[in-house]
């Protein structure tokens, strides 16, 4: 933290007092953070970086910047965010009860709490980068219609291929004159 604050002050040409005044904190807080005796809240560090024309980012081991999770990711029916460590999925995939069992509507989105289930899914499909982002056709009813259309198209394609396989070959014979 200390070396970062010193870099910020160097780039911004700011003394500890000037930086503290601009951030609305005490000069002692800046001094203590630079010496490693205390931390600064992330918001304060981000504001300090912005004053020097810098920004705080997350980077992976290779140094590639990693963006934050999408702010418009799906939420539950009460408007709450889903837990960040869980993988969201459509509620009509792998739903475990029949229509006759519950009178509740199926959720549009859900997640699996059981780590073994998540790990198995991630083994096959990889770990998603973030949560799903809601789309206009994400309702369970629209997804059912979409799957029905895709199935009908697949059946029609199969019929065409079977007809083509049964049809006698069309050969044109040309006889030299």
Distance CA 125, CA 128 (A): 8
- Structure tokens of 150? 């895709």
Distance CA 83, CA 71 (A): 13
Distance CA 32, CA 88 (A): 42
Strand-pairing partners, residue 111, are 88
What H or E segment, with its residue span, contains residue 94?
A: none
**Residue ranges of domains in the chain:** 2-56, 71-134, 135-165
125-157 pLDDT tens trace: 887 777 767 777 666 677 677 778 888 999 999
95-132 pLDDT tens trace: 666 666 666 666 667 777 778 888 888 888 887 777 76
CATH class for the domain made up of 2-56? mainly alpha
pTM above 0.75, yes or no: no
Neighbouring CB atoms inside 10 A of 50's CB total 13
């Amino acid at each position: 933290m200390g070396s970062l604050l010193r870099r910020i002050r160097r780039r911004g040409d700011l003394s500890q007092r000037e930086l503290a005044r601009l951030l609305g904190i005490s000069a002692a807080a800046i001094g203590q953070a630079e010496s490693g005796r205390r931390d600064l809240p992330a918001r304060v560090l981000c504001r300090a970086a912005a004053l020097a024309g810098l920004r705080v980012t997350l980077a992976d081991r290779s140094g590639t910047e990693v963006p934050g999770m999408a702010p418009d990711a799906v939420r539950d029916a009460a408007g709450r965010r889903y837990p960040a460590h869980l993988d969201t999925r459509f509620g009509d995939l792998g739903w475990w009860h029949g229509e006759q069992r519950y009178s509740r509507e199926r959720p549009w989105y859900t997640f699996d709490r059981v780590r073994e289930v998540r790990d198995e899914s991630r083994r096959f499909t990889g770990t998603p980068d973030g949560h799903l982002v809601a789309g206009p056709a994400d309702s369970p009813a629209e997804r059912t219609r979409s799957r029905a259309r895709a199935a009908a198209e697949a059946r029609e394609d199969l019929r065409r291929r079977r007809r083509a396989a049964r049809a006698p070959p069309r050969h044109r014979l040309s006889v030299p004159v």
